[in-house]
Amino acid sequence: MPEHDLVPLEPLPPESLASYDAVFGELPVMVALIRDGRFAYLNRAGQRGMGATSSDQWLGHQLESFSPDEDIPLVRSRLSTVQDAHAIAPLRQGRLRRLDGTLFDVEAMMVPEGVACISLGPQTPLEDIRRAAIAHKAHIVALSFSAAFPVRQATDGLTTLRRQLPAHVTLWAGGEMTRRVRKTMTGTVLIPDLAGTLNALRAWRSHWVPQPA
């Protein structure tokens, strides 16, 4: 149902909101309360991850409106399972879109692992990525490419970025597009699925050598 046809969601009572916030407000991972398929509560980590600056940007909005198109059938199925059978939905790594349209998925996995993530937004120029990596003293720069992104354009850009980044900065490339890369990408780690991100992190930690201050 289009969001403009929905009956406004009744807000949580102040005492309930205070209880949720006391327990979940400062957790480093995203916690959300979904009522009738819509956001009724979102802790501060979730708001930061989705790029929200006010509750109007998410409160009462459908979960589907923040889900990638290919995930919507699964989202509907899981919500139906919970609502109709009062069962616990099977665990799955979440994929949500931020307000700027980029996916908030890698951060959802990295933050519990103690990783501080900084999002630069979609279609950031390579020079801006290089400058941000140096300014923030980043250990890893990760780029994500959709299945439709041209392989040649992506690999050329990754080669250029690898050449421009300091040697100690690791470069990751993820997303469906990376499944179509047929040549060796020296100095770039290809991660075609979300589950591979944790393996890449463990491998990086096993070889990382701190740089002199």
Q: What is the mean pLDDT of each run of 10 residues along the chain (213 residues)?
A: 56 83 80 82 84 86 81 74 56 58 69 79 86 93 87 94 95 89 91 85 88 69
The CA–CA distances, whole Å, from 91 to 29, 83, 110, 187 equal: 15, 16, 17, 34
DSSP 43-98: -HHHHHHHT-SSGGGTTT-BGGGGS-GGGHHHHHHHHHHHHHH-PPPPP----EE-
Whole-number Å distance between alpha carbons of 104 and 169:
22
Query: Which pLDDT value is given to residue 104?
Result: 64
| CATH numeric code, 3-95 | 3.30.450
Q: 132 and 118 in contact (C-beta within 8 Å)?
A: yes
Per-residue confidence (pLDDT) for residue 165, from 0 to 100: 96
pLDDT, tens digit, 9 for 90 and up, residues 179-194: 899 888 999 999 988 7
- pLDDT, residue 164, reads 96
How much is the pLDDT for 83? 60
pLDDT of residue 91: 41
**Gap between the Cα atoms of 211 and 139, Å rounded:** 10
pLDDT of 96: 66
User: C-alpha 50: how far from its chain's center?
Assistant: 8
Whole-number average pLDDT of the chain: 81
Q: At 211, is the secondary structure helix, strand, or coil? A: coil
Exposed/middle/buried for residue 73 (C-beta within 10 Å: 0-12, 13-18, 19+): exposed
Instruction: Tally Cβ neighbours within 10 Å of residue 114.
Output: 9
Quote the tokens at residue 70.
């290919």
Break the chain into its structural domains and give their ranges: 3-95, 120-207
pTM of the full structure: 0.59
